[in-house]
């Protein structure tokens, strides 16, 4: 009987540990869907740590000026993990325009599992 109870305990613990990750995944997918339908940063958005926990560690952005798309690795960001993704819009800048002396903000597009755009250094 004790082995059965121990096995049930381990099974319940594994299910409980997977729930936050599943919840974060659903939150990220919901935010992406609302971004696609509304086309603008949606508040509230997942936090950086929720997105990374769900496996959505890349944020696709586009420069508001030159329309160059790029990807941001959320796991490598120097911001607190409790920062909301929609708050990053005013903080992210286009590298291409920065070299030309301009600093337009980025347009947030979606969260992703992997980068969608090759990194180009021009």
CB distance 122 to 95 below 8 Å: no
With beta carbons less than 8 A apart as the criterion, state whether 103 and 93 touch.
Answer: yes
Residue 122 in this model has a pLDDT that exceeds 70? no
CA-CA-CA-CA torsion sign (106, 118, 22, 51): negative
pLDDT band at 89 (very low <50, low <70, confident <90, very high): confident
pLDDT tens-digit series, residues 29-56: 999 999 988 776 677 899 999 999 999 9
CB 27 within 8 A of CB 34: no
Helix (H, G, I), strand (E, B) or coil at 122: coil
Radius of gyration of the chain (CA): 18
What residue has token string 């926990």?
Answer: 53
**Is the whole-model pTM more than 0.75?**
yes
């Amino acid at each position: 009987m004790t082995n059965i109870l121990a096995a049930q305990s381990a099974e319940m613990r594994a299910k409980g540990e997977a729930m936050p990750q599943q919840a974060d995944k659903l939150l990220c997918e919901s935010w992406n869907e609302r971004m696609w339908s509304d086309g603008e940063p949606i508040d509230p958005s997942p936090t950086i740590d929720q997105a990374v926990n769900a496996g959505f560690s890349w944020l696709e952005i586009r420069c508001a000026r030159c329309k160059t798309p790029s990807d941001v690795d959320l796991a490598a960001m120097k911001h607190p993990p409790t920062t909301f993704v929609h708050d990053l819009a005013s903080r992210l800048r286009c590298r291409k325009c920065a070299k030309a002396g301009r600093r337009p903000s980025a347009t947030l597009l979606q969260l992703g599992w992997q980068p969608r755009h090759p990194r180009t250094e021009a």
